[in-house]
Amino acid sequence: MKTPDSIAGRADGSRAEGQFYPDKPAPSLRGRLIGLLLAAVAVIAGLQALVTWRTALSETEAVFDGQMERIALSLTGGLAASLLGDDALASGRVARDLIVQVWRADGVMLYRSPSDQLLPPQAVIGFTNIRVGHADFRVYALRTPTQVIQIAQDTATRRQAAGQLALRAVLPIALLAPLLMLIVWGVVTRALAPLDRVRRQLAERRASDLAPIGTAGVPLEVRPLIDELNALLARLAKAWDTLTHFTADAAHELRTPLAALRLQVQGLQRAPDAASRDVAADRLLSGIDRATRLVEQLLALARQEGATPDDAVELDLTELARAAVQDVASAAAARDVRMHLVAPTPVRLQGQPAALAVLLRNLLDNAIRHTPEGGIVQVQTLTGADAAPDRVVLTVEDAGAGVPPAERERVQDRFYRAPGTPGHGSGLGLAIVKSVADQHGARLRLDDSPTLGGLRVTLAW
């Protein structure tokens, strides 16, 4: 029974476990794949851009430092006079964004390039960073026996130049990342195209079309899914065919008893006296009983044909047989039929107790109805060496007229009754037995009873 919590959720807003949410969007395989791949592309592109940016900055700094070092080396070797006589900036030997200062060993400045900034004369040999006024400089100082050469460059200028070079290095990655994302989207869409094709095939089908889905062009990874879906469609087609035939046969078989009931009711209405009405009423009750039994057998057959062996348990077939004999004891006594149960030991097997009880009830009911008054119906269960070469054997024998060998296969079909069969059976008893036997993996065999002379029904596991 559904509780208010299971219908509308709990009072605290939580949901019952396993509850279905029709408003929750189903996850998209395409969206998930594209999202994960695009995220991976974005992360990889970002990391690559970051590494490239930092590498470009580092290499640019190294290039600028090397340039400063080479300029300082080119100004050694008695170049003070030439610097004083020539304009090094005009000649292109010194870059315009560099500050050059040449000091004599005693601290006298020999040369200074045009600049508003004056570097301190006490320089640290090699590379160092200093601050002059409001600007930061990268300085390289080279000492010779006669002079000290200083080359300086504004760090802001260096950063600007380095950033431009790094940007040119990163720009191709930034341009290729969206293109790569577009390629990923196209590849995923193309890879999932077979699933879209299968979806369209199923969407365009009629409800009655249970033909297998074509597997041409389906990738190997998707083939197992299509195979299982085709197997499901095959089972549905078989179930649909069974249901169609069952419905048609049931409608045909119900027509006769219903027509008979109508005639019996009319006979009761037209009865001229009380004695005639009593006879007509008895016939009507007998007809109702036969129709009720037919409906019960139809329901039992429908349940067995739609059942699955998933709920099989270990049971004692001897106890089931004993219970079935007790259930039909009153029906046997009404026909003066004696019931014999030969079951000396418990017989264990895996099965569905309710289904096997239906099987036994139908076997015993058929045997009682076909056994003449004063006859015998015998039920026997065997196991171990007594059942060899089988593991478990169940037999039901009667003293009736039996079934001709040519009819023993046909009588297992639904609604079939062998010619000359006495009584008002529906032809469903052995069909129900066969359905339960198939469900439990048992072999059903009909032959003559060597002791009672009638029919012997054997089920062997």
- Confidence grade of residue 84 (pLDDT, cut at 50, 70, 90): very low
HSE toward the beta carbon, residue 297, CA cutoff 13 A = 27
Continuous segment of H or E residues that includes residue 127: strand 126-132
- Express each pLDDT in 48-78 by its tens digit: 888 888 888 888 888 889 988 988 888 885 5
254 assigned to some structural domain: yes
315 and 359: one domain?
Answer: yes
Higher pLDDT, 455 or 5: 455
Range of the domain at 151: 79-158
Residues 314 and 301 in one domain: no
Total-model pTM? 0.48
Residues 336 and 281 in one domain: no
Pick the closest to residue 365 from 289, 310, 445, 312 (CA basis): 289
One domain, residues 274 and 141: no
Q: What is the pLDDT of residue 270?
A: 85
| 218-274 tens-digit pLDDT | 777 778 888 888 898 888 888 787 777 767 766 766 776 787 788 888 888 888 888
Q: For the domain that residue 132 is a member of, what is the CATH number?
A: 3.30.450
Q: Are residues 425 and 326 in the same domain?
A: yes
Average pLDDT of the residues in 188-206: 81
C-beta of residue 57 within 8 angstroms of C-beta of residue 170: no
Are 214 and 287 contained in the same domain?
yes
pLDDT category of residue 164 using cuts at 50, 70 and 90:
confident
43 found inside a domain:
no
Q: pLDDT category, 7, cuts 50, 70, 90?
A: very low
Residue 412 placed within a domain: yes
Residue with tokens 């000091």: 103
Q: What is the pLDDT of residue 4?
A: 42
Q: Which residue has the tokens 């030439």?
A: 82
pLDDT digits (tens, 9 = 90+) for 394-415: 999 999 888 889 888 888 887 7
Query: pLDDT at position 86, please?
Result: 45
Residue-wise burial string across 385-412, b where 16 or more C-beta atoms lie within 10 A, e elsewhere: eebeeeebbbbbbbbbbbbeeebbeebb
